[in-house]
Chain A
């Protein structure tokens, strides 16, 4: 499902309380949400419970979704993330009397946030700034955990060049953020 379809469905849920649109959203998002919770180390059962809570919020609090502020994916992600944080906090023994603090930890700063457009531009900018080779190197170095030496061998370029290039890419990414 592409992003425009996703926001189209979300608009129908928000404005028309359209249950069919919601069921489409559910079919698409629920398996991804469940995967997200499982990835975070939760059992399949708990992951499904949390998925239900997230999907229920998407339905009942759809009026809170503001398409000018964030993409549907970002909004859904933050709900899921907050559910995860909540779950871990409730199960951890934390010595805080005021339960409500959990609620607003992630509530503030809404006004300050980048608009959806700005955030998307930022992601694209990072994406664009790095060329094919740079992405490849970053991927080899960090994702495949290859040493600089190994990268130098595979790409057949001198070790010193690999080192300085990776360093440059990191500096560049820092600047872009």
Chain B
């Protein structure tokens, strides 16, 4: 699978609400930082919205419209500070209690137990990600600074996807270092057993039928 396809699938899964918690945090941080990804998400939401109208009608049995006229409990119309979703989870990036893994490379594990492993990593200028292997794919999103690998430079809001076939060796740029959010897939699990096993292309083709 090429990188764009994996990215679009991630955005699509987010738009269709079939991601687990840690991947949702990852995806929403990605959309927050990357306006192109956010635009793609809007397109998917518009498509999924139109698709809602294609649903068969399953009549409601007890519910009447008058049951829905009560005004909802006091409005939670707070304006959230403009903070990225990951910071809402772990606090400001400059106050994270990093754990040194080796010189120049630190990490932090938000306490989220999930089928995927969500991690923050911090690389000093010039440091590189240790070689590692894992079963599933690994997504790396730049939150601050930038890193480079043999394919190019990744800046804030850029995402890199590593699978078993393509080995990247990311190195933090010499001048600034970087902070990244990573997620490692253990296996692809949609939302529990209830997940809508939607695949982007399955959806797109049915959308055109």
Contact = CB atoms under 8 A, between A and B. Distances in A.
Interface of A: 19, 22-23, 26-27, 30-36, 38-42, 44, 47-48, 51-52, 55-61, 64, 70-71, 73-78, 80-82, 84-85, 88-89, 92, 94-96, 98, 101, 103-109, 112-114, 116, 118-120, 122-123, 126-127, 130, 135, 138-139, 141-143, 170, 173-174, 177
B102 interface: no
Nearest to B4: A174
Query: A-B pairs with the 6 shortest C-beta distances?
Result: A31-B57, A73-B49, A26-B65, A77-B49, A74-B49, A114-B42
A83 to B, nearest CB: 9
Nearest to B28: A105
Interface residues on B, range: 35 or more
B152 interface: no
Contacts of A89: 21
B151 interface: no
A42 B196 CA distance: 11
A105 B25 contact: yes
Contacts, number: 209
A7 B89 CA distance: 36
B8 A174 contact: yes
Contact of B21 (A51, A74, A94, A116): A94
B96 interface: no
B45 interface: yes
B46 A123 contact: yes
B61 interface: yes
A35 B58 contact: yes
B53 interface: yes
A71 B60 contact: no
Contact of A32 (B5, B17, B43, B57): B57
A94 B28 contact: no
Contacts of A112: 31, 35, 38-39
Given A71-B46, A142-B204, A177-B43, 13 more contacts: A19-B65, A32-B53, A47-B58, A51-B63, A59-B71, A71-B50, A78-B45, A78-B49, A96-B89, A96-B112, A104-B80, A105-B85, A174-B8
